[in-house]
Amino acid sequence: MIRREAVFSNKLLPYLLVAPQLILTGVFFLWPAVQALQQSVMKSDPFGIRTRFVGWENFKALFADPFYLGSIRLSFLFAGAVAFLAMSLALFLAVQANRQLRGSQIYKTLLIWPYALAPAVSAVLWVFLFQPSIGVVSRALQGLGIPWDYHLHGGQALLLVILASVARQISYNFIFFLAGLQAVPKTLIEAAMIDGASSRRVFWSVVFPLLTPTTFFLIVMNTVYAFFDTFGVIDALTKGGPGKATETLCYKVYLDGFRNFRINSSAAQSVVLMAVVILLTAFQFKFLQRRVHYEGGG
Amino acid sequence: MKKARKNLTNIPAHLFLAVAAALLAFPVYMAFIGSTHDAATIGRGRMPLTPGAYLGQNYVQAWAYGTGERVSGTPVRVMMVNSLTMALAIALGKIFMSVLAAYAVVFFRFPLRNFFFWLIFITLMLPLEVRIIPSYKVASDLKLVNTFLGLTLPMMVSATGTLLFRQVFLSMPKELLEAAKIDGAGPLRCLWSIVLPLSKPSLAALFVVMFVYGWNQYLWPLLITTTRQMDTVAIGLVRMLGTSESLMDWNLVMAATIMTMAVPVSVVILLQRWLVKGLVEIGK
């Protein structure tokens, strides 16, 4: 934290100023998080009358449960696919839009507006296209001889959830990559061009390395998005099915906590997710420090 | 000559961008087409790719009732008011709280200052999904289920907002405030007439980002509201969708989708500059 002299010397006022945020943080963040930690090491009987301390038992049960391990694999596959597709497509489009094109502002708007859609709402749009018997795209696929029914085929359901999640996230990534590209000094690119490098070569050896901070930041944000914000996409499209084909870790926390009433298992799963977020945040801060270094070193 | 060649090399770029834009818009176009036909045409699986004749009827029915023969939903007007209330409350509440907290952290020195900052900061690591059941329990103990307070209060805590304003405030010349202080202005006066006006761009940017964020909430509203009167847009639309069978009033669902989309999409398009600024600054 930067050391600065205080401007004001009031004793009580600063506490009143931070109070609203602190009270809400305590009530809705810290207290529930502590409760989740606590519930994750307890076991209640089915009626919730008696609760006893069981230590690591919920976690042991969790990691011995093939369904949970399957959900972990699925979540990482899903997050990897969403992050890779959404980022590479967005980078490609940002490079195109960063050229001096006639009407490039219109293209930017046309690529950014999907950010306005809630994941759940964009999933509603996708259902209308892919519903097995009435969807326009499904009919086209079936016309090509592909037996399309994502209510029956797990692979198709997963593919659909991935594509619907990617479509919306492209806009977010596009905004950041474009901002990153605009910050690349033109002189640098011109110098490389004069040296005779091809434009592809210039991109991969000059421009892309300069985008590293943006790329790292987006890897974190896209992983967080895929882990947590796609809840609405899954709830609207597949509800975790068919079978458990689209039951990601986050969706499973919800199912076990609110549908199957396995409170302690759900709490233990929450704690595992908490660990994931802490790791991601730590990763992000490591990279942030590096960016400070970049800026400081020119 | 040189210009002509440059235009020629730009053709692939135009092509890629246009195709991507068309692909992203395609679902909305089909939703619009769906909202202009009758349920039977869509249900038979033979919906044309051009608009039908039922636009007026569908939109009026979705707006006023949200319910047809084979779909039972919430009127669009109710969902829109709910989502608008929620989005505005979350955006304004977040800004209010993060401005105050950042102001205290930057311009005052007091015991526990760093500890408080750290407490606000770690909320970044506690998304709703990792505290879902206890959060619901706290809200229900406080009798906040099915209330707008319950819907919005937990969403107002924002480490990102506090971090952003801390950065903005730190970059302000301290002499401005010192001068105002000598002229007899108190801390709140300084906040209102010097600090806030200077922060206008960041305030606008954060407002747009938070409005869209608030409008798009899904999991928390799903838990905390149980009556249709409280349905927000995202919840209401997914509820209308039900199990998405072929024989239902898709025309009404799509009319509702198109109408409700209009609000956040116009905000993003009209205030695009602020959205981009807000996202990029929060990302820092």
Are A171 and A111 contacting, i.e. CB atoms less than 8 angstroms apart? Answer: yes
B230 touches chain A (CB under 8 A): no
Q: Rg for chain B (alpha carbons), in Å? A: 24
Residue A222 in any domain: the answer is yes
Residues of B in contact with A221 (CB under 8 A): 283
pLDDT of residue B20: 93
CA atoms within 13 A on the CB side of B151: 27
Which pLDDT tens digit goes with each residue over B257-270?
999 999 999 999 99
Which one, of B265, B242, B251, lies nearest residue B30 by Cα? B251
Total domain count, chain A = 1
d(CA A73, CA A18): 41
Residues of A in contact with B179 (CB under 8 A): none
Residue A292 reports pLDDT greater than 80: no
B138 touches chain A (CB under 8 A): yes
Length of chain A counted residue by residue: 298
Residue B58 reports pLDDT greater than 90: no
Helix axes A154-182, A66-97, angle to 10 degrees: 40
Least confident of A164-168, A293-297, B149-153: A293-297
Residue A30 in any domain: the answer is no
Q: Which of A110, A172, A263 sits opposite B21 (nearest CB)?
A: A110
d(CA B133, CA A249): 15
Q: Which of B30, B108, B153 sits opposite A136 (nearest CB)?
A: B30
Q: Name the pLDDT band for A48 (thresholds 50, 70, 90).
A: low
Residue A45 in any domain: the answer is no
d(CA B42, CA B249): 8
Helix axes A212-224, A263-297, angle to 10 degrees: 170
DSSP single-letter state for residue B111: T
Q: Which of A102, A125, A273 sits opposite B28 (nearest CB)?
A: A125
pLDDT of residue A47: 66
B216 touches chain A (CB under 8 A): yes
pLDDT of residue B92: 95
d(CA B156, CA B270): 24
Residue A168 reports pLDDT greater than 60: yes
pLDDT of residue B248: 86
Three-class DSSP category at B32:
helix
Are A164 and A126 contacting, i.e. CB atoms less than 8 angstroms apart? Answer: yes
pLDDT of residue B3: 54
C-alpha of A29 from chain center? 20
Check residues A47 and B272 and name the one with the higher pLDDT: B272
Q: Name the pLDDT band for B255 (thresholds 50, 70, 90).
A: very high
Residues of A in contact with B119 (CB under 8 A): 22, 25-26, 30
Chains A–B, number of C-beta pairs less than 8 Å apart: 301
Phi and psi at residue A186, in whole multiples of 5°? -60, -35
pLDDT of residue B5: 57
Residue A16 reports pLDDT greater than 50: yes
In this complex, do A277 and B241 lie within 8 Å of one another by their Cβ atoms?
no
Long-range contacts of B52-60 (CB under 8 A, 24+ apart): B54/B251, B58/B251, B58/B252, B58/B254, B58/B255, B59/B35, B59/B255, B59/B259
Q: Name the pLDDT band for A46 (thresholds 50, 70, 90).
A: low
Q: Which of A13, A107, A167 sits opposite B17 (nearest CB)?
A: A107
d(CA B260, CA B234): 9
Question: What DSSP assignment string belongs to A8-23?
Answer: B--SSHHHHHHHHHHH
Which pLDDT tens digit goes with each residue over A97-111?
988 888 888 999 999
Residue B15 reports pLDDT greater than 80: yes
Are B253 and B241 contacting, i.e. CB atoms less than 8 angstroms apart? Answer: yes
Average pLDDT over chain B reads: 88
Bridge partners, A43 (sequence order): A52
State the CB neighbour count (10 A cutoff) for residue B266. Answer: 12
pLDDT of residue B6: 59
3-state secondary structure A119-140: HHHHHHHHHHHHCCCCCHHHHH
pLDDT of residue A5: 65
CA atoms within 13 A on the CB side of B23: 15
Phi and psi at residue A192, in whole multiples of 5°? -65, -40
In this complex, do A7 and B107 lie within 8 Å of one another by their Cβ atoms?
yes
Q: Name the pLDDT band for A295 (thresholds 50, 70, 90).
A: very low
Q: Tell me which H or E stretch contains A52.
A: strand A51-53
Mean pLDDT of B171-195: 87
Note which residues in 161-190 of chain B have CB less than 8 A from chain A: 162, 170, 174, 177-178, 181, 187-188, 190
Are B83 and B263 contacting, i.e. CB atoms less than 8 angstroms apart? Answer: yes
Percent of chain B at pLDDT > 90 equals 46
Q: Which of A17, A258, A278 sits opposite B223 (nearest CB)?
A: A258
Least confident of A24-33, A145-154, A277-286: A277-286
Which one, of A194, A28, A228, A229, lies nearest residue A122 by Cα? A229
Average pLDDT over chain A reads: 86
Least confident of A85-99, A174-188, B94-108, B125-139: B125-139
Mean pLDDT of A183-192: 86
CATH code of A292's domain: 1.10.3720.10
Three-class DSSP category at A243:
coil
Are A133 and A152 contacting, i.e. CB atoms less than 8 angstroms apart? Answer: no
Range of the domain at A214: 61-297
Residue B95 reports pLDDT greater than 90: yes
pLDDT of residue A297: 31
Residue B28 reports pLDDT greater than 50: yes
Architecture of the B81-224 domain: Orthogonal Bundle (1.10)
Three-class DSSP category at A98:
coil
